[in-house]
Amino acid sequence: MTTTTPALLLKGLTKTFDRPAVDGLDLTVRAGEFYGLLGPNGAGKTTTLRIVAGLLRPDAGSVSVFGTDALADPVAAKRVVAWVSDEPMIYDRLSPFEYLEFVAGLWNIDAAAAETKARHLIDWLGLGPHAHERCQGFSKGMRQKVALAGALVHDPRLIILDEPLTGLDAGSARQVKDVLAERVRAGGTVIMTTHILEVAERMAERIGVIADGRLIAEGTLEELRREAGRDGTSLEDVFLDLVAARSAAA
Amino acid sequence: MSQPATIAWFARHEIGLVWRDWLAMVTAGKRGREPLVLLVVLVLLGGVQLLAYYMVRPFAEAGIAPDKTTLAVVTGSAFLSWTLMLSQAMESVTRAFYARADLDLILSSPASARRVFAVRIGAIALSTTLLAMLLAGPFVNALAAMDGARWLAAYGVLAAMGALAAAVAVAATVALFRSLGPKRTRLIAQIVAAVVGAAFVIGVQAAAILSYGSYSRLALLSSDGFIDAVPDVSSAVWWPAQAAMGDLPALAVVMAVGLGLLLLVIAVFSAGFGDHVIAASGVAFDTGRQQRQRHAFRRASTGQALRRKEWVLIRRDPWLVSQTLMQILYLLPPALLLWRNYGDDVGALLILVPVLVMASGQLAGGLAWLAVSGEDAPDLVATAPIAPGAVLRAKVEAVLGAIAIIAAPLVLALGIVQPGLALWAVAGIAAAAVSATTIQIWFRAQAKRSNFRRRQTSSRVATLAEAFSSILWAGAAGFAAAGSWLAVGPALLALLVIGVAWAIRPRADQ
C-alpha cells in the first residue's frame, strides 16, 4: 500500500430498498483529507456511509478502505475505521470511562495505551467532571462527545461522521469541529455529512454532492462554484443550484 | 361521527390505535395475513377450549354444589387471578405515566387532559378484563356447557374484577407517586406490580408445601383445616364466588362494587393524571449516578469486553434485577419443597426438575433478548473489527453464564440429595436455555433496551416458541427424571417447535 492509496474508494456502489438509495456511486476520498458529503434528504448519503462502515451490504459495487476490500475482509477494514452517527451510540448505564474501556476492548487495543488516550480525550472534550457518572441523563451534546471519544480512542485512520452536529449547542459543536480539524492535521481522514453547509464550507477540503444515489458534483468549494457558474457565492447557493439542476434534468 | 375532544372521540381514537397496534403485532406488519391470523386464533381458541373441557369435566360430572369447599376453591382461584390482573393493571398505569408517546401532543393541545385520562383508565380496565376473559373464558364456557348456563355469570364477575383491579392500580400508583415522587415511583411501582402478581401464588404454594408437603394450591384451599377456618357460606366473602356460580343478586352487588369503584377512581384521579405525567416527564430516571472510580483499564479480549459489558448492564438495571429476582422468587416453593423433604420423600423432589428447567428457559429468553436485540449501541458493535459470529458467541456466553450462576445453588442442593435428578435438571436447563437463546437470536429485532418489558410484542412467534420450548423441555426433563420413556414425547415436540421457529424465522436483509 502506498501513500497514494485512497482512504476510501467506492466503485459502482448500488443499494436498493423500495427504490434505489445508492445508484452506481463512484467516489474517491484521499488519505488525510476532510471530505464533506452533501445532499438533500434521501439522497443516499447515510446509506453510502453505512455501507462503508460495514452496517449494510451493497447489492453491487466495491468498497476499498486504504486498499483493503471492505466487502471481502470487513474485519480488517473496520480496524482502521470509526463511525459516528447523529444518534450517539452509548450505553446509559456505563460511565464515559467505562464506555471507552469497552470500545478499547472491542478494537482489542492495549489497555494501558487506550487508558492514556481515553484520559486525554475525556479531558480534551470537557468530560472530566462526568468521567465516572453514568451516561443516563447526559445531554445530547455530552452524549455525542462521549461517542466521539469512543470513535477516537482506537486511533482510526478514517472517521466517518453522519450529521454529527445535529442538536448540539454552539459550544459542543465547536469542540467537535476542533477535534475533527486536529484529527486531519494529525494525518487522519474525515468524511462527514452535514446539513449545516457553513460547516462544510469552512472545514471540508473537498466536497461531494450526492443526489438520487449518484455523485452529481465534486471538488473544492471553488471548483463547485465554477461548476455551478456562481463565482463568489456561498456553498448554500452552489448546493441549491446543483441540486435544482439535477432535479430539472431528471 | 363523535364531536372532537369528547370522551367518545378520544375513546374512538384509542380503540383505533389499539386495533392497529394489535393487528400489526399479530401480522408482523404484513398485509394479507389477516385470514391466516384469524385461522390461527380460532384453532388456538378451539384447542384451549377442548383442553378446558377435559380439565373441568371430572368436577362437572361429580356435581358442583355451592358448598364451603367449592366456594373456597373458586374464591382462592379468583383472588389469584385478580392479583395477576392487578399486577397487569399497575404495569399499564405506570406505563401511562411515563411513556411519552403522544402525550406531548395531547397535553400541549387545548383538549381536556381529564377526558384523555378518563378514557385511558377505562382502557386499562378493559384490556385487563379482556385478557382475563381470554384466559378464563374457555373454563367458564366448559362449565356452562356441562353444568348449566348459570356459569356464564362468571363473565360479569371477571368484568367486575378487571374494573376493581384497574381502580386499585390507579389509586395505588397515584399514592406511590405522591409519597415517593416521580423519580422513584417508576421502579417501585413496577416492582410492586411484579410482587403483587407473584406473592399470592407463591404464598399459597409455600403454605401448601409447609402444611401438606404438596405443591398443589388446591390441596391447601380444599383442606379440612382451611375449610374449618374460613367463614360460613352466608358470609359476604363468598359473594364473588356465588356470583360466578350464577347467584344473580350477588352478581349485581359484585358488579356494582367493581364498576362503581372504577368510576369513582376515574372521577377523582383523572383530573390530576396530567399533572403526574408532566412531573414524570421532567425526570430523567436514575441520572448521573456516580460510579466507583477505577484508575486503570482492565486487560480484556474482545469476547471478555463484550461479556463484561453485558453483565455490568444487567447488574445495573434495577428493573431487570427485580424481574430476575422475581423469577428466583418463583423458585422459592420448590426450594421449600427441597428443604422439607430433605432426606426422606425423594419422589416429591421430582417437581423441582421441571420448575428449574422452565424458570431457566424463561430467564434465558429474557437475557438473550437484552443481549441480542436490546443492544443500545448496535452500530458500535457492528462497526468493531470482530466477526459477527464472535460477537454473538460472546453474548450467548454472557447469557448462559448468568443462567449457570443463578441455577447452580439449587441444582447443587438437589445433587446432594438426588444426583440423578440433578443431572436431568442440568440437561433440561441447558436444553431450555440454549433453545430460548437460539430462538431470540433467530428472531432478533433491534430495539431499545428500555423496551424490555414489551419485548413480547416485537415477535409473538418468538415469544410463543420460547414459552413452548421451555414448557416442553421442562416436561421432558420431569419425565426423564421420573425414569419414564414418556420424556421422548415432549423432547421431540420441543425439537419440532424449534424446527418450526427456524423455518419461519425472519430472513435478514444482509
Higher confidence at residue B508 or residue A161? A161
Q: Tell me how close the Cα of B500 comes to any Cα of chain A, in angstroms.
A: 28
Q: Tell me how close the Cα of A54 comes to any Cα of chain B, in angstroms.
A: 6
A101 interaction partners in chain B (CB closer than 8 Å)? 297-298, 300, 305
Q: Is residue B344 predicted with pLDDT exceeding 60?
A: no
Q: Is residue B509 predicted with pLDDT exceeding 50?
A: no
Q: Which of A250, A94, A64 is nearest to B315 (CA)?
A: A94
Amino acid at B503: A
Q: What is the DSSP string of B480-495?
A: HHTT-GGGHHHHHHHH
Q: Is residue B288 predicted with pLDDT exceeding 70?
A: no
Mean pLDDT is lowest, of A35-49, B195-209, B363-377, B422-436, for B195-209
Q: Chain A residue with minimal CA distance to B313?
A: A93
Q: At what angle do helices A140-152 and A170-185 cross, to 10 degrees?
A: 10
| Alpha carbon distance B139, B324 (integer Å) | 31
Q: Chain B residue with minimal CA distance to A115?
A: B297
Q: Which residues pair with A189 in a beta bridge?
A: A158
- Compute CA distances A136 → A146, A168, B278, whole Å: 12, 17, 20
* Residue B271: Cβ-neighbour burial (10 angstroms; 0-12, 13-18, 19+): middle
Is the Cβ–Cβ distance between A12 and A62 less than 8 Å? yes
Q: Which of A83, A91, A98 sits opposite B379 (nearest CB)?
A: A83
Q: Which three cell numbers stand for residue B231?
A: 367463614
Q: Which of A56, A83, A95 sits opposite B291 (nearest CB)?
A: A95
* Residue B133: Cβ-neighbour burial (10 angstroms; 0-12, 13-18, 19+): middle
ipTM exceeding cut-off 0.85 for this assembly: no
| Alpha carbon distance B37, B26 (integer Å) | 7
Is the Cβ–Cβ distance between A36 and A194 less than 8 Å? yes
Over its C-alpha atoms, chain A yields an Rg (Å, rounded) of 18
Mean pLDDT (whole number) for A240-247: 79
A158 interaction partners in chain B (CB closer than 8 Å)? none
**pLDDT one-digit tens code per residue, B438-472:** 999 998 887 777 777 666 666 677 888 888 999 89
* CB within 8 Å of B322: residues ≥ 6 apart: B187, B190, B191, B194
| Alpha carbon distance B292, B330 (integer Å) | 33
Q: Which of A164, A162, A174 is nearest to A126 (CA)?
A: A174
pLDDT at B495: 94
**pLDDT one-digit tens code per residue, A186-242:** 999 999 998 888 888 888 999 999 988 999 889 988 888 888 777 767 788 888 888
pLDDT at B69: 85
Q: Confidence band (pLDDT; 50, 70, 90) for B285?
A: very low
Q: Confidence band (pLDDT; 50, 70, 90) for B160?
A: very high
Q: Which of B289, B384, B387 sits opposite A133 (nearest CB)?
A: B289
Give me the phi and psi of B106, to 5 degrees please.
-65, -45
**Are the Cβ atoms of A134 and B289 closer than 8 angstroms?**
yes
**pLDDT one-digit tens code per residue, B79-103:** 888 888 898 888 888 877 776 566 7
Q: Which of B289, B294, B380 sits opposite A150 (nearest CB)?
A: B380
Mean pLDDT (whole number) for A84-107: 88
Residue showing cell 492495549: A110
A82 interaction partners in chain B (CB closer than 8 Å)? 383
* Top-confidence range, A6-10, A122-126, B42-46, B384-388: A6-10
Mean pLDDT (whole number) for B197-202: 76
* CB within 8 Å of B408: residues ≥ 6 apart: none
DSSP helix/strand/coil, A60: strand
* CB within 8 Å of B466: residues ≥ 6 apart: B361, B362, B365, B435, B436, B439, B440
Residue showing cell 466507583: B292
Mean pLDDT is lowest, of A115-124, A168-177, B477-486, for A168-177
Residue showing cell 451516561: A135
Mean pLDDT (whole number) for A48-56: 91
| Alpha carbon distance A208, A220 (integer Å) | 9
pLDDT at A222: 85
Is the Cβ–Cβ distance between A106 and B384 less than 8 Å? yes
Higher confidence at residue B209 or residue B358? B358
**Are the Cβ atoms of A132 and B291 closer than 8 angstroms?**
yes
* Top-confidence range, A128-132, B433-437, B456-460, B500-504: B433-437
Q: What is the DSSP string of B321-344?
A: HHHHHHHHHTTHHHHHHHHHTTTS
Is the Cβ–Cβ distance between B117 and B274 less than 8 Å? yes
Mean pLDDT (whole number) for A76-81: 92
| Alpha carbon distance B406, B393 (integer Å) | 20
Q: Confidence band (pLDDT; 50, 70, 90) for A6?
A: very high
Q: Is residue B252 predicted with pLDDT exceeding 50?
A: yes
Q: Is residue B386 predicted with pLDDT exceeding 70?
A: yes
Q: A140-149: string of b/e by CB count within 10 Å (b at 16+)?
A: ebbbbbbbbb
| Alpha carbon distance A73, A68 (integer Å) | 7
